[in-house]
Amino acid sequence: MSAGRSALRMGPAELVQAAAMARRFYLEGKSKIQIAEEFGVSRFKVARVLETALERDLVRIEIRVPAELDAERSDALRARYGLRHAVVVESPADATEDAPDPENLGAVAADLLGELVNEGDVLGLAWGRSTIHMAASLHRLPPCTVVQLTGVYDAGTAERGSVEAVRRAAQVSGGDAHPIYAPMLLPDPATAAALRNQTGIARAFEYFDKVTVAAVSIGSWEPGISTVHDMLTDEERAHYASLGVAAEMSAHLFDAEGRRVGRDLGERCITVEADRLRRIPEVVAIAGGLRKASAIGAVLRSGLVTSLVTDTAVADYLLTESEPGLRPALDRADPDD
């Protein structure tokens, strides 16, 4: 609290009393009734004094969040896309259009999960560099079950990827872990179906309908930015590109308007189905960097995501887009699936 020039128009007794009342109310957390009793005045007078103290700059109120968080953009993004939560972090000063996801997204997403997950929940983690970084940053989680929602990019990287992320989250929470030891993409539907019936994978799939909070990543349909894109042959990439693929999330493909395309690919994938994903109460997407901005917009338009952790560069892109044409994220029914 500080006295501004306009407050000097108050007499010394008024200043002292107003400062004392303001201290009781704003710093000590006393109610107006308690203050009124202490000073022998009505609670209505206390309210007037506090209002005057604000008007005359005797009291200054600042709303502050950590420097890396952008509260204004976060709220604007949440409102524009009908999200439950949007958390926007500062983009690196030297970020370019080709820069990867900002490294601090994972730490912020880890803190967000610490808020969203309750004891007894089932937390689902999909494969993605962002979710892997998030899991590595986890320091607190209530006791919960952790299940892997997709296979891995390469069976040889399982220990360093989503399997390890599931184990890490379970270790932090003290709950059970249900990893999936299988590639995300298989050569054909028959092989994928056979793997889904294997005991360990089938057990993980049984938890999909119980997931209450999920963390997912988003990729653009470009080399090095989409896991699925990198696993396909040139001929397959050309086929799906001809369908207008603009984004990928958990092996599900979306066009620029957020419509799912290339659904046949799902028959070859070990992943949570889109209809199950839509039924999860809280789906948090962790994705940033300008190279993913349009893809993030496409996935938001699908309505499959309820919350987003991203950076200021992406937020500015999304907030200046034309009307997003959303399928409401909070409507968890998908008649198309």
Q: How far apart are CA 82 and CA 77, in angstroms?
A: 8
Q: How far apart are CA 250 and CA 131, in angstroms?
A: 11
pLDDT beyond 70 at 193: yes
Q: How far apart are CA 14 and CA 27, in angstroms?
A: 19
pLDDT score recorded for residue 318: 95
pLDDT score recorded for residue 84: 92
- Would you give the DSSP letter of residue 331? -
| Residue with token string 């939560």 | 85
pLDDT beyond 80 at 91: yes
pLDDT score recorded for residue 231: 84
pLDDT score recorded for residue 336: 45
pLDDT score recorded for residue 69: 83
pLDDT score recorded for residue 2: 43
pLDDT score recorded for residue 162: 75
| Residue with token string 């200054």 | 60
pLDDT score recorded for residue 230: 82
Determine the straight-line distance between the first and last CA of the chain, rounded to whole angstroms.
57
Which among 329, 336, 200, 176 has a CA at the least distance from the CA of 270? 200
Pairing of strands 252-254, 247-249: antiparallel
pLDDT beyond 80 at 160: no
Q: Where are the alpha helices (DSSP H) in the chain?
A: 12-22, 32-39, 43-55, 71-81, 104-116, 129-136, 162-173, 189-196, 199-206, 227-231, 234-242, 274-279, 293-302, 312-320
pLDDT beyond 80 at 48: yes
pLDDT beyond 70 at 310: yes
Enter the tokens of residue 16: 């002292």
pLDDT score recorded for residue 259: 94
> What's the rounded mean pLDDT across residues 59-63?
72
Q: What is the pTM of this model?
A: 0.76
* CB contact at 8 A, 102 and 95: yes
> What's the rounded mean pLDDT across residues 127-136?
88
Q: How far apart are CA 233 and CA 24, in angstroms?
A: 69
pLDDT > 90 in the chain, percent: 55
Q: How far apart are CA 305 and CA 291, in angstroms?
A: 19
**pLDDT band (50, 70, 90) for residue 7:** very low
Top pLDDT among 153 and 293 is at: 293
pLDDT beyond 80 at 269: yes
Enter the tokens of residue 111: 């803190």
**pLDDT band (50, 70, 90) for residue 92:** confident
> What's the rounded mean pLDDT across residues 284-307?
94
Enter the tokens of residue 175: 């709950």
What single letter denotes the amino acid at residue 40? G
Across the chain, what does the average pLDDT equal? 85
Q: Write the pLDDT tens digit of every residue in 110-131.
A: 999 999 999 999 999 998 888 8
Q: Which domains does the chain have, with CATH numbers?
A: 10-54 (1.10.10), 67-329 (3.40.50.1360)
What single letter denotes the amino acid at residue 190? A
